[in-house]
Amino acid sequence: MKQIAESLTAYLGKGEAVLKEKVLKSSGNVTVYGDSVHAVGNAVVMMCRDEKQKFLLITAAGTKDMPAGFEGETFTLAAGAVAMKGELSEANAAALRRYFPWSAPKSLRNVRTTVGCGDRLGLATIGHVRAAKKVQVSPVLAQQSIRELTMTKRTFRKVVDDACFLVFAADYRDGYGADGDHLKTLADIDTALAAGMPMITLDLSDVMNAAAGDWDAAAVNEAFDRFPAAQKQMITGDYAGKEFVLADDVSVKIDELTAKRCAVMYTAALDFAAEVHEHLKAARGEEFDLEISIDETSSPTLPSHHLFITRELHRRNVEFSSLAPRFIGEFQKAIDYIGDLDEFDRQFKVHALIARNHGNYKISVHSGSDKFAVYPTVGRETRHYLHLKTAGTSWLEAVTVIAYKDPQLYRDMHQCALDNVSDMLKLYHITADFNKIPALSTLSDEELPALMTMPEARQLLHINYGPILTGNLRERFFEAMHKFEADYDDRIEAHFDKHLSLLGVPAAK
């Protein structure tokens, strides 16, 4: 490591290009991330790795040239130069963001196509960035829900910091987002905001009255009658018996009962969305992306309901960047779309038209993971004015790397998943028959990776990331992932190439 620092002392202050060219790329067990070499005055900051961990290495011409804010172990070099080895700590992430503002997440509200790249491990950013660079998208590299935080023993701060370090390592300056995903309370939103997350996905499932979707007319009328007179008049006047034309051959009709039902189902949720919007404005000015999520419900969002929600959000002056309806069909974890694709196409087209004609926001497709069958429709009908959210897919790529590279660890992870599956099934809607998965004892090591192309085994490993990452396999897993970092980067890149090409996103300029 000292040799790497010393390879640069003669070139400090001579510019980044020179430093990148002259740096000794590896020495002993230490390797430099070549793209991470960045000049700060008469100092240079870069990311390195040894067989155990990643770390920052800062080399400065003298003590007074050492950029302030970084922490770590310092040592002296020849001719008065100094160096510091810093862990990937909170303080060092904050210092990186100060000197390299592009390493901090930002609002992507003006970007046409955005892709949420859930990264539960904090290791996938380099692969995500490589794929994103090839097409016209901005990635939301940090994205996690509260449940995922618990299952992975992470915090929003850590989720953002992990992305920040790897964005720095990859020298990715085009801007990325960070999403506090599926948040339901102001307290959780505040935690995400404190971690610098500009995107908030507001999950309205707990504040909406979803049950009223199935009420009979008498029950709807009774609940609606309790609204203030002026509000009742406004709702019936604006919606009852109205037809909203979206295109030459597409319109949405709302009858009186539907208008009242929507008011009963959504008014409290819409008022809460307005409160959250004010809160975000106060905290971040215009620098935020609010996503409205109504996808965590048991029945699909009807076009009439989508239209009502959109118009009522605008009436309340809520500026939102994207909205996630619940689409028809099954969007189960880790496997492709289950359902009638023609019907999906027909309904999705209407949702996309509502978004285009009523406020021009992005339709957000929470694909869970690999819903490749619907991608062509999603890309075409939104004209790529879209947010795509993937979650567990990068985790399954990590499991695949382990299946190839460390068969014994894969076997232990698979067994851990089997041991915990009954608990996890209480949290996820999965219809897979896990009995179809062959017993591990009957499979050779070479046969293990094929399990990650089998829907049942994919779902098993997908939903059990919590027990694997919080139990006694945690350390071994992360050690292996560090060892096979390059394989993981390659797999993630190829996997996201597939996502983005099926969406038909135009190539980068």
Enumerate the active-site residues.
181, 291
Owner of token pair 């339709």: 363
Count of residues in contact with Zn ion, rule CB under 5 A = 2
436 SS3 class: helix
135 SS3 class: strand
Q: At closest approach, how far in Å is the CB of 368 from Zn ion?
A: 8
- Which residue spans within 215-258 are E strands per DSSP? 242-247, 250-254
CA distance 313 to 326: 17
Which residue, 267 or 390, is less far from Zn ion as judged by CB? 390
Which residue, 295 or 397, is less far from Zn ion as judged by CB? 295
88 SS3 class: coil
- The answer to whether 210 and 297 have CB atoms below 8 angstroms apart is yes
Contact window for Zn ion (CB under 5 A) among 46-54, 266-274, 290-298, 423-431: 290-298
Q: At closest approach, how far in Å is the CB of 364 from Zn ion?
A: 8
Contact window for Zn ion (CB under 5 A) among 23-31, 166-174, 339-347, 360-368: 360-368
Which residue, 231 or 298, is less far from Zn ion as judged by CB? 298
Q: At closest approach, how far in Å is the CB of 462 from Zn ion?
A: 15
Residues 381-400 that bind Zn ion (CB under 5 A): none
Which residue, 92 or 322, is less far from Zn ion as judged by CB? 322
Contact window for Zn ion (CB under 5 A) among 33-41, 309-317, 364-372, 498-506: 364-372
DSSP string, 8-44: TGGGTTS-HHHHHHHS--EETTEEE-GGG-EEETTEE
Should residue 366 be labelled a site residue for Zn ion when binding is judged by CB under 5 A?
A: yes
Q: At closest approach, how far in Å is the CB of 346 from Zn ion?
A: 22
**The only residue of 295, 312, 456, 493 in contact with Zn ion, by rule CB under 5 A:** 295
- The answer to whether 182 and 368 have CB atoms below 8 angstroms apart is no
Binding mask 304-343 for Zn ion (x = CB under 5 A): ----------------------------------------
Which residue, 145 or 152, is less far from Zn ion as judged by CB? 145
Q: At closest approach, how far in Å is the CB of 297 from Zn ion?
A: 10
Report the residue number whose CB is nearest to Zn ion: 366
Which residue, 339 or 471, is less far from Zn ion as judged by CB? 339
Contact window for Zn ion (CB under 5 A) among 261-269, 362-370, 371-379, 498-506: 362-370
Owner of token pair 């779309």: 337
Element at 182 (helix H, strand E)? strand 177-183
345-380: b or e for each residue (b if 16 or more CB lie within 10 Å)? eebbbbbbbbbbebeebbbbbbbbbbbeebbebbbe
- The answer to whether 398 and 481 have CB atoms below 8 angstroms apart is yes
389 SS3 class: strand
Q: At closest approach, how far in Å is the CB of 249 from Zn ion?
A: 30
Query: In angstroms, how far is CA 97 from the centroid of its own chain?
Result: 20
Q: At closest approach, how far in Å is the CB of 152 from Zn ion?
A: 18
For helices 256-284 and 229-239, the axis angle rounded to 10 degrees is 110
Which residue, 65 or 295, is less far from Zn ion as judged by CB? 295
Residue 17: both structure tokens together: 């290009």
Q: At closest approach, how far in Å is the CB of 300 from Zn ion?
A: 13
Which residue, 54 or 366, is less far from Zn ion as judged by CB? 366
- In order of 182, 210, 227, the CA distances from 267 in angstroms are 19, 11, 10
Helices of type H across 285-302: none
461 SS3 class: helix
Q: Which residues contact 46 (CB under 8 A, 6 or more apart)?
A: 23, 32, 33, 36, 37, 38, 56, 57, 58
- The answer to whether 279 and 319 have CB atoms below 8 angstroms apart is no
Contact window for Zn ion (CB under 5 A) among 251-259, 361-369, 480-488, 501-509: 361-369
160 SS3 class: helix
Binding mask 28-67 for Zn ion (x = CB under 5 A): ----------------------------------------
Contact window for Zn ion (CB under 5 A) among 8-16, 76-84, 112-120, 359-367: 359-367
Positions that interact with Zn ion (CB under 5 A):
295, 366
